[in-house]
Amino acid sequence: MSLFFFYFFAAILIAACLSVVLARHPLYNVLSLVVAIFALSCLFVLLEAYFVGMVLLLVYAGAVLVFFLFVVMCLNLNALPLMQPAQKQLQWFGALGGLMFAGTFLLAMKSFLAARAMGPSSIRGTIEAVGKILFTNYLLPFELTSLLLLVAVFGIVSLAQGALSTGKER
C-alpha cells in the first residue's frame, strides 16, 4: 500500500517539478512549486518523518511560497518566452553540462541502489524525537543558527538603511 502511495506522490512530484521549470507564466511556476512541496511532504510522511513533512508544508508552502506569490502578483509579470535569443548560443553548453551531470548522477545512483535499499529511519520523526536530538547531540549547530539570524538582521539593517531617502532624492 505504501509503495503505491510512494509512486503516486513521486509521479506528482516529478510532474510538478517539470511544470516549475517549463511553465511560461511565473504564476504557474510558483503554484506548481506549491504542489511539488505538498507531494514532497507526503513522501516524508511515508518515511515516518512527520515533523519534517509538517515543517516543509507549513514553512515552504505556507509562508515562503505565498510570499513569492504576492511578489509575482505585485510585479504583474506576463508570460515570458521560454528562451531569450542571447541564451540560445549557450544552450549547447548547458545541454553538455546537464548531460555530464546526469551521467555522473546515474552512476552515483546505481551504486547507491546496489548498496542497500533503505527503509525508514529507526528513529521516528516525531517532534519529540527531533527535539531531543536537536537539544542534545546537535545543540551547538542549533545555537549557531542564532548567529545566522543575527547576520541576516545586521545585513538587512545596514543595506536597507537610508534606502527610502535615496529614493526621494531621485
Partner 1 sequence: MFPVINWNLVSLEVLMSIILVGLTVLDIVLPKNTQKDWLGLLSFIALLGLIAFWLTQGALRGVTFSGMFVMDPLAWFFKAFFLVVMVFIFAMTREFFKSLGERRNEFYLLLWLALIGMCLIASSADFLMLFISIEVLTISLYVMTAYLKTDKLSIEAGMKYLILGSLAAGFFLYGISFLYGAAHSTHFGVIEYFCRTHAMSSMTLFALVLIFAAVSFKAAAVPFNLWVADVYQGAPTPVTALLSVGSKAAGFVVLMRLFFFVFNAWHPQWSLVLAILSAITMTYGNLIAMFQTNIKRLLGYSSVAHAGYLLMGLAAGTALGAAGINYYLLGYLFTNLAAFMVIVVFSMAAGSDAIADYAGLSRRSGILALGLLLALVSLAGIPPLAGFFGKFILLMAVIKSGYVWLALIAAANIVVSFYYYLMVARRVYVDPPAADAAPVVVAQGLRLLLIFAMAGIIAIGIFQGPFFNAALTAIK
Cell of 82: 521560454
94 touching partner 1, by CB under 8 A: no
**What is the maximal distance between C-alpha atoms in the chain?**
64
Going by C-beta distance under 8 Å and a sequence separation of 6 or more, which residues neighbour residue 58?
none
Q: Which one of the spans 28-36, 48-56, 85-93, 152-160 is the region binding partner 1 (CB under 8 A)?
A: 152-160
CA-closest candidate to residue 29, choices 14, 39, 18, 43: 18
∠ CA 6-7-13, rounded to 5°? 90
Minimum gap (Å) between residue 58 Cβ and partner 1: 21
* Contact with partner 1 (CB under 8 A) among 163, 165, 168, 170: 163
- Our CB check for partner 1 shows the closer of 66 and 156 to be 156
Contact residues for partner 1, defined by CB under 8 A: 104-105, 107-112, 115, 118, 136-141, 144-145, 147-148, 150-152, 154-155, 157-159, 161-163, 166
